[in-house]
């Protein structure tokens, strides 16, 4: 599903944030990405989203070199990827329903289809009963679940998360990871950048470890 072939990413013409990075993630796999702050985790995820382009090497997603995508193809490409951030980036003047509906409204999906999909996504994260609430009325863990519902409302084949449990206590973090595992179990490819080594060790999924932009470990834990 994802293949990095000797990828390097240089910022500002001199700083190598990523270097000689090669790995494959198969369709349906769940993989953690770890490493110290500044190791290059977010840069790697941004390359997969095609928010950044590699300075060298190739990034293939579903068999395609995504550097070759025409700008007109990017919206369709990104629609296949759900993204969850640490600070879930909800719109605070919109209800939970409308936050989750946003990606579908941007696509111009008919309201009836939008409603069906939004409710299915909210149901998956256990928040159907809160659809009329505003984000401010929800706890941090619930807000993150809304962020996940919004990320999966387009039924992406690939789900990326950048420190999705960064602000949550251990129990809520474990609950959020269980949600990601649920999507993995129905066939979604999942890649999660996280600092939470204790949680990662407990969950026993493949883990890629970066240090100074290089892949220093690739461990199967199943």
Give least dist CB 126 to ligand ATP, A: 28
Parallel, antiparallel or unpaired: strands 158-162 and 189-193: parallel
Nearer to ligand ATP, 35 or 135 (CB): 35
Give least dist CB 211 to ligand ATP, A: 10
Q: Is 15 exposed, middle or buried (0-12, 13-18, 19+ CB in 10 A)?
A: exposed
Using the rule CB under 6 A, give the single segment among 11-19, 56-64, 69-77, 175-183 that binds ligand ATP.
Answer: 11-19
Sole binder of ligand ATP in the list 1, 35, 48, 104 (CB under 6 A): 35
Assess 42 for contact with ligand ATP (CB under 6 A). Answer: yes
Assess 12 for contact with ligand ATP (CB under 6 A). Answer: yes
Give least dist CB 41 to ligand ATP, A: 4
Give least dist CB 212 to ligand ATP, A: 9
Nearer to ligand ATP, 177 or 193 (CB): 193
Give least dist CB 109 to ligand ATP, A: 33
Nearer to ligand ATP, 32 or 97 (CB): 32
**Which single residue is written with the structure tokens 């395609």?**
64
Assess 13 for contact with ligand ATP (CB under 6 A). Answer: no
Assess 124 for contact with ligand ATP (CB under 6 A). Answer: no
What tokens were used for 184? 């993995």
Q: Tell me which residues touch ligand ATP (CB under 6 A).
A: 11-12, 15, 17, 35, 37-43
């Amino acid at each position: 599903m994802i293949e990095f072939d000797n990828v390097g990413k240089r910022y500002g013409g001199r700083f190598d944030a990523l270097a000689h990075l090669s790995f494959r993630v198969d369709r349906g796999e769940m993989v953690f990405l770890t490493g110290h702050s500044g190791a290059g985790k977010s840069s790697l995820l941004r390359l997969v989203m095609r928010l950044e382009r590699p300075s060298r090497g190739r990034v293939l997603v579903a068999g395609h070199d995504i550097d070759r995508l025409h700008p007109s193809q990017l919206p369709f490409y990104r629609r296949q990827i759900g993204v969850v951030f640490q600070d879930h980036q909800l719109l605070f003047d919109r209800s939970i329903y409308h936050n989750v509906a946003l990606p579908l409204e941007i696509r111009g999906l008919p309201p009836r289809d939008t409603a069906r999909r939004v409710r299915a996504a909210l149901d998956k994260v256990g928040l159907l009963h809160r659809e009329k609430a505003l984000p401010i009325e929800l706890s941090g863990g619930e807000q993150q679940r809304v962020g996940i519902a919004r990320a999966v409302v387009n039924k992406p084949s690939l789900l990326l998360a950048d420190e999705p449990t960064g602000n949550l206590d251990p129990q809520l973090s474990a609950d959020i990871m269980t949600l990601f595992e649920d999507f993995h179990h129905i066939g979604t490819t999942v890649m999660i950048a996280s600092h939470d080594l204790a949680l990662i060790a407990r969950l026993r999924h493949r883990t890629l470890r970066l240090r100074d932009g290089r892949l220093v470990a690739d461990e199967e834990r199943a």
